[in-house]
Structures are given as C-alpha cells and as structure tokens.
Amino acid sequence: MRRPVLLVVAHGSRDPRHAATVHDLVRRVRAQRPGLRVETGFLDFNVPSVGAVLESLDAEGVRDVVALPLLLTRAFHAKADIPAVLSEAPPRLRIRQADVLGPSPLLVTALERRLYEAGLTPADKSSTGVVLASAGSSDPEAIAVIADVAREWRHTGWCAVRPAFASASLPRTEDAVRELRELGCARVAVAPYVLAPGRLPDRIARGAAEADVLADVLGPSPEVAQVLLERYDAARTPLLTALGA
C-alpha cells in the first residue's frame, strides 16, 4: 500500500521570503525521506491553496493524506482554520491532521544551531541570556507552551532564558532583552522561535536592536525537517492501521 501523501499546510504571507523558506524546508524533507510524496498548500496569500492541492490529489486518484500544520504551537490556525479547510476536501480523500511541530527537543537543538551560526559557542552558554522570541498568540495554551520551552531550555546551561512575543502577548523582545541586561548576563542573544521570515519576525529583529546576537529563523534546518517527518509518521500509523495495512 502506498504511503499517505504528506501535505504541508503553511500559513502564507505577503512577504516572498516566507514562501521561499517553506519551499526550502519541503525540499529538505523530501531529501531526508526519498520516495515520500510531499506537497505544499497555503492558507492565505500564496498559491497553491490547501483546497486546490486537495482537489488535485483527489483528481489524481490519491486517497490517503496526512495534513501537517507548519506551526509551532496549537493556536487558532491549528484548532480552527485548518480543520475547517480540511472539512471541505473531496469526500473520497481520507485525511488525518498531524500534530503541530512544537514542542520538541529537536526544535531546541535547531534554536541552538542558529545561535551558534550567529557567533555564539557552547562555552558562551553560562554567561549568555537568551530571549526566546515567538510570533505571539491570544491562545493561552500557545503562550504556556512557549513559557515551558523557555523554562526547560534554561536548564541546559544558559545564564537565563526569557520568552517574548511579537504580537498579542507580553513581554516584547526589547523588554526581555533589557530584563536580561538587568539580571547581569554578560551578553544577550535573541533566538526567534519562528519558522520563516515575515512581518512578525521583522518585528522581533527590530526588538533585538540592543542585543549582542540575533539568530536567524529556524527555516529549513535539518532538525525542523526531522520533526515534520516524526509528526507525519505518528499521524500515518493509525491511518494505515484503520485501513488494515
């Protein structure tokens, strides 16, 4: 039996860097799992839309799809927008929505990779405070997850780790940077907990003006690609079991 198609569901953005980064990530996923068919659909702003991809798959005769939200937390898009779009898919498609990417130890590894690429070394950890800067959400569950990630990450040897948000929640990145300065950290680094460039990541970057180090977005890092495949595998197993495979 063929493996279900992996449909990566991205938010979309008017910023062309967003879609370019999503496509780079999908290419890495394909490279890490040769033979797996991976498609990309966007909720807004970019093409193809999720609905258009599902219609095309149905027309080809595909029957099993794992739809994977390209999101770091279970906020409104994962709980409402994506299920609503999937519910309008052609009825012959059997679709299972995978879990969002976060939290995952692999994502923390990706965050550290970006910090080291920006100039830090493991020897800097004990004297460096880190701002874990996310896009932000009005969903309490999503905010709690970011706070938990920051708290757990602190236990790996950093001087301190503080969460910050570009929208909807507080503190802002610049406030968290100042807090770490006042705490006495020798240097302050900002680690964007976002997948692709865009308006809110740019706001994070502006808030990092007084930091010593600004890491890049997570983007197409191998760790993020591996998390996608883990979420796909977890979702496809019950789907195949139900089909008797």
Cα dihedral value 162, 69, 230, 23, nearest 10? -100
Residues in Cβ contact with 170 at an 8 Å cutoff, skipping those fewer than 6 apart: none
Which pLDDT score is estimated for 75? 83
Which pLDDT score is estimated for 95? 97
CA 2 to chain centre: 27
Residue type, 178: R
Cis peptide before 103 (omega within 30 of 0): yes
Which pLDDT score is estimated for 112? 98
Global pTM value: 0.94
Which pLDDT score is estimated for 14? 96
Which pLDDT score is estimated for 237? 84
Run means of pLDDT, 10 residues per run, the chain, 245 residues: 92 97 98 98 97 98 98 89 96 97 98 98 98 94 96 97 96 98 98 97 98 98 98 85 53
> Closest by alpha carbon to 103, among 131, 77, 71?
71
Q: Rounded distance, CA 179 to CA 177, Å?
A: 5
Q: How do the residues of the chain divide into helix, strand and coil, expressed in percent and rounded to 5?
A: 45, 20, 35
